[in-house]
Structure 1
Amino acid sequence: MTENQMEANRDEDIELVITRDFAAPRAKVFAALTEAEHLRHWWGPTGFTMEVARVDLRPGGLFHYKMSSPDGNALWGRFVYREISAPEKLIFVNAFSDEEGGAVRAPFHPAWPLEVRNTLTFMERNGTTTLVMRGIPDAGSPEELQIFKEGHELIRQGFSGTLDQLADYLTKI
């Protein structure tokens, strides 16, 4: 097996894939995932409030945000955009962050990958958009990759609530 084949097998084993259909055109779904006026209404875990610090939608640009839990705890996060092909594809690296937008370790596990590369594709058919989200640690250590793999179900549960909020929001805009 070549080095490239081993790398591809590792990626398939570690990569998290989430697929969700939305009863909305893909341009609308893409806008909801990339514009501050929309993101603040639905992004984040169920029950959290969202504050957008900034969105600079361009390769190298930053989406920086603060999520506050019902009990008042705040978590900062960021996306650094790598590729934007509206409304078909969006690639970004996300991380927990400090208030200035610098990447920091996850508060829930010291070996959680510092950054995760996400590739989102948007496919429309008959007014329904299928969103496919693929996430994999960006340059993670073997321990970080294992922790990420073990956390797949937890991530799926979290995104289920977040994507439910998106589905509900799309019916209102």
Structure 2
Amino acid sequence: MNTDSDFVITRLLDAPRALVWQVHSDPAHLARWWGPKGCAIDVAKLDFTPGGLFHYAMRWQEQPPIWGRFVYREIEAPRHMVYVNSFADAQGGIVRNPWSATWPLEMLTTLTLEEEGAQTRLTIRSSPLTADEEEIRTFVAGHKSMEQGFSGTIEQLSDYLASLPRGA
């Protein structure tokens, strides 16, 4: 892993770690908060096991869906998960980023949840996987856009967590 090109975002969430973990591992929850602001998520499949697949469609008004997928490598409840994420087609096959022909096909992502009292520190670290130099440069150049996108997603997560009873 090339740490110079890693994208890292960290946020403190006002929810217990078990609840934050639950909303990352249940398709009914994921459909309510995952993805960029302004899009609806359809969960096509969620097999939350090592080797399992999270396949989803992001839908914006009157636009064709943009598909994505995670293939889980490690799951250590409720502390961390490691997955390879990429854009996908409707069948779950890997495809190029629809907005950038030089975006890496796959990113290795680690999501870590750490307890801080009654709150949870969420850290997401993502790096290009098997990418060439041009793809790495594109990924690094996209960090600001990723910061905006993930910030919106985490804001939706935070709002969703606030709407849930603590025993959800």
Shorter-chain TM-score: which interval?
over 0.9
> Number of paired residues?
164
Q: 2:25 and 2:57 mapped to 1: Cα distance?
A: 16
Is 2:135 the partner of 1:164? no
Q: TM-score if structure 1 supplies the norm length?
A: 0.92
Deviation at 1:126, TM superposition (A): 1.1
Aligned counterpart, 1:51? 42
Aligned counterpart, 1:135? 126
Contact 2:114 2:120 in 1 (8 A): yes
**1:80-137, Cα deviation, whole Å (9 max, x unpaired):** 0000000001100000000010010000000100000100110011110001110001
Q: Which has the higher contact order (CA 8 A, sep 6+)?
A: 2
Deviation at 1:149, TM superposition (A): 0.5
**Identity level (%):** 46
Using the TM superposition, name which of 65-74 and 120-129 deviates more.
65-74
Alignment of 1:19-168 (within 5 A): 19-168=10-159
Deviation at 1:73, TM superposition (A): 2.7
SS at match of 1:171: helix
Q: 2:144 and 2:23 mapped to 1: Cα distance?
A: 25
Using the TM superposition, name which of 64-73 and 24-33 deviates more.
64-73
Structure 1 unaligned blocks of 5 or more: 1-7
Q: Show structure 1 runs of 4+ deviating over 3 A.
A: none
Q: TM-score if structure 2 supplies the norm length?
A: 0.95
Q: CA RMSD in A?
A: 0.9
